[in-house]
Structure 1
């Protein structure tokens, strides 16, 4: 798994490539923590993620809680249909705004 953090004004964009499972979830968690230390407005780009285990879902839930505690926003980008199905079954999907492209996420996050 590869994680890249980019800054766009006051928005942190975390781009993830590869699967998020029990082996890679700690790195994903560290990256999302770095992003939330920089900003309380976060976009997580999962376009290049085909599989996410429950460990990855746990990281997303923790991210959501941390950002919401700071009155921030989280948007997920490019979430595959399979991951959306799992998120739907667990109820996690209700916590997140999901968009197809990064520019949509940036537009949404810039709104007040």
Structure 2
């Protein structure tokens, strides 16, 4: 059985404070990674926290990329979820490792929608 989507959960370590705390740079890195991986960007929203940190999401036709940063720890939590075969979520992760200047990345992939029936089923609640 084929999965509906691939969800990579990535831990980015040893990133420079300035990179993870810059709203526009985080936004630019995330959007560019989606585009460079071949995704079709639909919308994006990012928020800067006080005293530090950035959260955001890039909505792509294939699903999404999301991030939350802890600049004071040099850490970012990143999700890349893609549906279909056109976009490989690992491509976006590799691009993000470089753009966030991560010293190391730990990541795992989860297959999403493995047990979804291929036909529509009516359910009454």
TM-score (norm 2): 0.28
Specify which structure has the higher proportion of strand: 2
Bigger relative contact order, structure 1 or 2, given CA contacts below 8 A and separation 6+? Answer: 2
Larger radius of gyration: 2
Greater helix share, structure number:
1
